Chains A and B, each alone.
Chain A
Amino acid sequence: MLELFAQSETAQFGQFLLLGLVLGSLYALIALGYTMVYGIIELINFAHGDLFMLGSFLALQLSAWWLRYVVGDANSAGAVIGLLFVMLLVTPLACAALNVATDRVIYKPLRSSPKLTVIVSAIGVSFIFMNVGLFWMGATPVKFPDLIPDTNLTPDTGVVVTWKDVMVIGVTIPAMIALTLFVKFTSLGKAMRATAQNPTAAQLMGINVDRVIAVTFAIGGALAGVASVVYGLYIKAVEYQMGFQNGLYAFTAAVLGGIGNIPGAVLGGLVIGVVGELGKAYVGAKWSEALIFGILILVLLFRPTGLLGARIREKV
């Protein structure tokens, strides 16, 4: 990051913008899990951030096992690519399974209960996940293996773009496109939209609502898993409390965009990432968090249902 000092102001701005976009797309991935679950069962899933944290711990564990049992030489390109492949395959699957299991065991019996009851259960799940993380990796931050090179891909422009940035964008954008296509064009996606609009009517039309909810939790969990691997590779350190902070940002992103709305979550994530990073650079690092929530409140004051949220009509 030393090169930063040699950069022109525009280039510096570009650099912060890039960092904001990269972090923002990570928040967006997590936010999608919040927003989809909310869209279907109106649950603010407070445990989602901690699921993300457990995902990154699993990825870290996988890399340790990979180096110990599978390959001896940690530096060979084949070993690194193999590990990336394993992490990006196993972690999302595990997170999806855990999310579905949590729903089955804990939220499903509460389907007909009021919202507050389910939210408190979700807070309970979040506490348990955090405790698991605490036992798993301890209370202090743990280094994540630095697998992606930091080479500057654009030496002439003044803005440093590394393989890491490319990786984040290269993973998150396709994931979002795939999700959008899935929700828009598959019959299961159609069933999801129908369930979100009106669960009772959807059930009467022959949609298996329980299955749709399970799929929603699976997709949300898988996206959190992808985000957790990418986050670990990008930030290079993980700790048991990171689910709280990032989950909060992601949830904020989901609400900012209009909760229940998929493009809204992506937009919200990007806005929060960019605002946070530009705030850090130009307002002061310690005020950037306050700035994020300040902007959230301002946006909600003028658009009470978020940036892309549908106008809500009070029903009698």
Chain B
Amino acid sequence: MTSLRSWVPALFALLAIYPFLPFAEANRGEQFTILFIYAILALGLNVVIGYTGLLHLGIAAFFGIGAYTVGILTVPFFPFQQSFLVAAIAATLLAAFVGVVTTAPILRLRGDYLALVTLGFGLITLYAIRNLDAITEGTKGLNPIEAGPIPGVAEDVDLSSLKVNSEWGVRWYKYPYLYFLALGTLGMVMVFLRNLERSRLGRAWIALREDELAASCMGLNPARLKLSAIAIGAGLAGLAGAFYAMALRTTGNPQGYDFTLSMIMVCCVILGGLGNRPGVLLGVFLLMGFDRIATNMLDNLIQEQIGTGGSNYLKVSGWKLSIFGMVLILMMRFRPAGLLPEKRVACELSEGVGERGEETVNTKPGTG
């Protein structure tokens, strides 16, 4: 595990100097920013699924709540006109609050019923975002979301002048500071979660995941622990949503907060290594990186080499879903604990603790 711990700071250092490198492109830099944002989202989901073992299928809802909170608090359309800092804090708190309020009544549901209700909650949030066009502008999205005053920068500074102006680096024309802001936030989230894992609360979550009954017999309060995990997970998702709206400078199409996103995030977390922060980071960079960056690069490459003439069969993006599917299937077959397995999770998986067996007796088709 020590070798894993050491590559994460190295990766962050590399990403921090990336904009100054000669081959850095504005476009790529913006795509990386989106990856950092999704990484924050996945780390939030990891708190819920990885630490406490609640299968949450509606994390995109909190992402959307965060994005729209920032939208409402900053766009000229509304009278609030807050700075991004205030809006991001509000987004985080609101998402955490909604997470607790919507999860508290359903905690007594078990396993898959809980998963379905979270899925339903995610969809209802999506429909609400899409349909309440008086507030959310429907499919047009709230825009423009401009960067408000940044802490430490005088208010009248033109933000577009804050570009990375290195001698050899390509000049970034759009908000390169958001790249550093997202990267820095991601780093802080990583450190925060590491400390959390080692805290009393984090250890209690793990105990709960391994055996809820035993944990509650030892005096832990499962409901309170689960709610605190949801609050932190949803809060991080809201924070990620705030950054997302900021990076896009619009809340975009509500489609960006749909069930597919929730599902892909679950896949990222499981693919990388359930409960393992560096693993989750890797899972997001691989899956979302493939989705957002690599397919386009490969498409362009193929186009240059053989000239596909628009045929989907010859494009990587045409096969994207299949590649995704194959990766998930093969991973689950040969490395079910993820690319970077968390030791305890790997043990739990190989022993099959808790998950299977305990509920098999209860369902009776045909006799209801």
A296 to B117, CA, bound (A): 8
Q: Which secondary structure dominates where chain A touches chain B? A: helix
A310 to B332, CA, bound (A): 31
Segment with Cβ contacts to B, from A119-127, A147-155, A159-167: A119-127
Q: How many residues of B contact A (CB 8 A)?
A: 61
A254: min CB distance to chain B, Å: 9
A286 to B129, CA, bound (A): 11
Q: Would A304 and B336 count as touching, CB distance under 8 A? A: no
CB of B219 within 8 Å of the partner chain: no
Chain B residue with Cβ nearest A251: B116
CB of A14 within 8 Å of the partner chain: no
Number of inter-chain CB pairs below 8 Å: 196
Per-residue CB contact flags for chain B residues 118-149 toward chain A (1 = under 8 Å, else 0) read 00110110011011000000000000000000
B328 CB contact (under 8 Å) in A123, A135, A263, A309: A123
Q: Would A261 and B355 count as touching, CB distance under 8 A? A: no
A120 to B309, CA, bound (A): 35
Chain A residue with Cβ nearest B112: A44
A128 CB contact (under 8 Å) in B115, B274, B322: B322
B119: min CB distance to chain A, Å: 8
Residues of A contacting B324 with CB < 8 Å? 124, 127
Q: How many residues of A contact B (CB 8 A)?
A: 72
Q: If A121-B332, A301-B106 touch, does A114 touch B352 (CB 8 Å cutoff)?
A: yes
Segment with Cβ contacts to B, from A2-10, A73-81, A89-97, A194-202: A194-202
Q: What are 25 A-B pairs at a CB distance below 8 A?
A: A36-B365, A39-B364, A120-B271, A120-B331, A121-B328, A121-B329, A123-B263, A127-B328, A128-B325, A135-B312, A183-B365, A197-B360, A197-B363, A252-B116, A259-B363, A262-B368, A286-B127, A286-B131, A293-B120, A300-B109, A300-B113, A300-B117, A304-B108, A304-B113, A310-B368
B residues neighboring A (CB under 8 Å): 55, 105-106, 108-113, 115-117, 120-121, 123-124, 127-128, 130-131, 213, 259, 263, 266-267, 270-271, 274, 312-313, 318-322, 324-329, 331-333, 336, 348-349, 352, 355-356, 358-368
Given A112-B352, A134-B321, A196-B363, 18 additional A-B pairs, CB 8 A = A35-B365, A36-B365, A106-B329, A106-B333, A113-B356, A116-B270, A128-B326, A128-B329, A131-B322, A183-B365, A196-B365, A248-B123, A252-B120, A259-B112, A293-B121, A293-B124, A310-B368, A313-B362
